[in-house]
Chains A and B, each alone.
Chain A
């Protein structure tokens, strides 16, 4: 089966840095996505990792270690608008939609 774990909630301060971790146990791993979801809205794509290492995209970076079944999303220079849920999703080749989502990490940014 597929299993994805990420913390339920995190709190950080505006201007700071926060790291959201995701661990997974899946078969047929073919990449990992991070999505941002504001309350009452649909998820928006942030990043995709298929090879080990760090992918940087502006204030957001994502890291993957396939041997450890581990990824993290790093958010720098936090802004109030970054308050949202962050979903880790593993892409499994051969699945119906290919994606298994974690429950999401609710990030709260404080002034």
Chain B
């Protein structure tokens, strides 16, 4: 079964509003979670690393004030897209690695969130 849960799966919002996406690890505690964005027919692009108890680490070119990340507990990370614009419409996916299964264990992905900004 799924080990990483992501909610909501789809969201449509109006331009200028904010949207919050939740990511939960179900069977393990994740001090680190990862947020990706994927545009149609493109690869997964890492946006940021969510760190429990400290600030998120953002990849180059990703606006930290626009994509707010909060890692409130060892099993929950949230991504808030603030003041969303149509160009933010994309597929957002979170992932985590079970630390108990080794350094190079696979990333487990949530089911993704399809964001459409009108």
Contacts and interface: CB of A to CB of B under 8 A. Distances in A.
A87 B106 CA distance: 13
Contacts of A106: 41
B42 A103 contact: yes
A37 to B, nearest CB: 9
Interface stretch (A19-27, A56-64, A73-81, A91-99): A91-99
Nearest to B107: A99
Interface residues of B, number: 23
Contact of A40 (B42, B110, B114): B114
A41 B43 CA distance: 13
Nearest to A45: B106
Nearest to B111: A42
Given A96-B49, A97-B49, A45 B108 contact: yes
B54 interface: no
B46 A97 contact: yes
Nearest to A98: B104
Nearest to B42: A103
B42 to A, nearest CB: 7
Given A30-B104, A48-B106, A97-B95, A43 B114 contact: no
Interface string A15-54: 0000000000000001101000000111111001010000
A40 B109 CA distance: 13
A40 B116 CA distance: 13
B27 interface: no
Given A96-B46, A102-B43, A42 B109 contact: yes
Nearest to B109: A42
Contacts of A42: 6, 93, 109-112
A106 B93 CA distance: 19
Contacts of B59: 96
B106 to A, nearest CB: 4
B57 interface: yes
Interface of A: 30-31, 33, 40-45, 48, 50, 87, 91, 93, 96-99, 101-104, 106
Interface of B: 6, 34, 41-44, 46, 49, 57, 59, 91, 93, 95, 103-104, 106-112, 114
